[in-house]
Chain A
């Protein structure tokens, strides 16, 4: 791949790729093509170095230490909170709570806000395209509280049926929890409108931002969402770290999630008083090293710029969609009006697992299966799809390798 070929809009993809050590390897004798970015994307050297830098230079427990290392670690940890606050434009850094990831963030809200404010007969709205992480916590809550889970249907192209959403809203609706960008289809939901309609009936809105945060401009204040969940590892950051954004007044009204160190103000056997936000929700020693490195992942995205990232990924998405459609019997699942860089497809008569395995033999990493969205697969009457998802370091040449491989499998399967 020549450097010239990959320079677009002032973006030098080759030099971006050079920052990702993992990409420079052969898999099954072929150069690795990594198209499983919606599951987790790869980490640039600056993120990897930040992890070892922390452990080699200033590993210490944060917040209550008065020694130099503790001070340094605390500063680095809190710096990520501020960076993330700016990244999603939260009003205050106290509105950012570090968690293990999107799943924990959603569970936190269901278990605290949900348990306190949801009562029998209340309704919670989700959509058909939710990840299991944004279904099961609400199901558990509904079971416990005898509340009702309502589901917004999706149409054949993979958009939610907005009119049906409006019909589901009522004064019984207490929470709307919806994915910003679908991990299986790529659909970008009209969350701004969804939020303003939900607010009209007094409901709170939680956004699952796992797939949107690295790709779209996120402004939680402009969106006016009440909660926003995200994962660092889908943003070029480490695994095991994520965050929950919540509006201050909501976070303050919520009971703690877990008990332990950090989340308390005073403890006696008679009574414990809780710390202020965000610490009230951060019991125990957090994942300090990875939170510090998460800050570097945000720097990485900011350095390139969301506009550039989004432009490049969209070009890859359009190219992949167009090339894949040329393959005999291939059907794209999810052709919503607005998409992030995810393309899901099935091929008549060939199981997704077989395609995934044959792709792996060619060094191409794609994901196959239901992508933790079984109800969505049921909606389309399929068991699963093959999913290719693109990141900033991917190229059209890599898409050609995938498309050529799939064409070969199709030919082979059709002949025999």
Chain B
């Protein structure tokens, strides 16, 4: 869990440098999004779409060595930046850690202020989707 919080703290520090400037925050999100590798066109299927987002967001989970990994993409640059934050924090973690993760960075960086309600709701849907995948993987682990 500490690793998840370490990454969150890093993100909080990065956004603190932007001093709450909305434009800068959005530019920074776009930059982060651009660094996230795009997913293959073939993977952009309806099955991988996160429901509840106004923009299109694709999320592809995988599971290796008891850790969860995510590929993600979006058709809008800012949203891709948002999902890249979640990938950065929650990829390479165990399902249990993902389930228990308290994502306090959202409030700390004042995200709802610079992305607005619609995107905030969409962001909530992304988190929900990731946690659902984590529950599913955890259930599988428990069966073994």
Contact = CB atoms under 8 A, between A and B. Distances in A.
Instruction: Sort chain B's interface into a size bin.
Output: 20 to 34
B131 interface: no
A360 B117 CA distance: 13
Interface in B79-98: 79
Interface in A1-60: 28-29
B27 interface: yes
A358 B23 contact: yes
B76 A353 contact: yes
Contact of A354 (B21, B76, B116): B76
B106 interface: no
Given A351-B55, A353-B55, A416-B34, A361 B26 contact: yes
A239 interface: no
A360 B78 CA distance: 13
B77 interface: yes
Nearest to A27: B22
A413 interface: yes
A350 interface: yes
Interface string A373-416: 00000000001000000000000000000000000000011001
A108 B36 CA distance: 51
Nearest to B31: A416
Contact size range, A: 10 to 19
B133 interface: no
B114 A361 contact: yes
A412 B23 CA distance: 12
Contacts of A358: 23, 26-27, 78
Contacts of B55: 351, 353
Given A357-B115, A361-B114, A412 B27 contact: yes
A357 B116 contact: yes
A351 B76 contact: yes
Contacts of B115: 357
Interface string A344-361: 000000110110011011
B30 A354 contact: yes
B66 interface: no
A353 B23 contact: no
B75 interface: yes
Contact of A357 (B34, B75, B78): B78
Contact of A362 (B23, B30, B31, B79): B23
A413 B77 contact: yes
Contacts of A28: 22-23
Contacts of A354: 30, 76-78
Contacts of A351: 55, 75-77
B119 A357 contact: yes
B54 interface: yes
B141 to A, nearest CB: 38
Given A360-B116, A413-B77, A416-B34, A353 B27 contact: no
Interface in A267-324: none
Contacts of B75: 351, 383
A386 to B, nearest CB: 12
Nearest to A352: B76
Contacts of A29: 21-22
Interface string B22-51: 110111001100100000000000000000
B22 A361 contact: yes
A282 B42 CA distance: 55
Interface centre among A353, A383, A413 (most CB of B within 10 A): A353
B120 to A, nearest CB: 12
Contacts of A361: 22-23, 25-26, 114
A350 B23 CA distance: 16
Given A28-B22, A358-B23, A361-B22, A353 B30 contact: no
A354 B55 CA distance: 10
A413 B30 contact: yes
B34 A353 contact: no
B31 A357 contact: no
A413 B77 CA distance: 9
Interface in A189-203: none
A353 B26 contact: no
A350 B26 CA distance: 14
Contacts of A362: 23
B74 to A, nearest CB: 9
B81 to A, nearest CB: 10
Interface of B: 21-23, 25-27, 30-31, 34, 54-55, 75-79, 114-116, 119
10 contacts: A28-B23, A353-B54, A354-B76, A354-B78, A357-B26, A357-B78, A357-B116, A357-B119, A361-B114, A416-B31
Interface of A: 28-29, 350-351, 353-354, 357-358, 360-362, 383, 412-413, 416
A-B pairs with lowest CB-CB distance, top 3: A361-B22, A351-B76, A361-B23
Given A357-B119, A361-B26, A416-B31, 7 more contacts: A29-B21, A354-B78, A357-B78, A361-B22, A361-B23, A412-B27, A416-B34
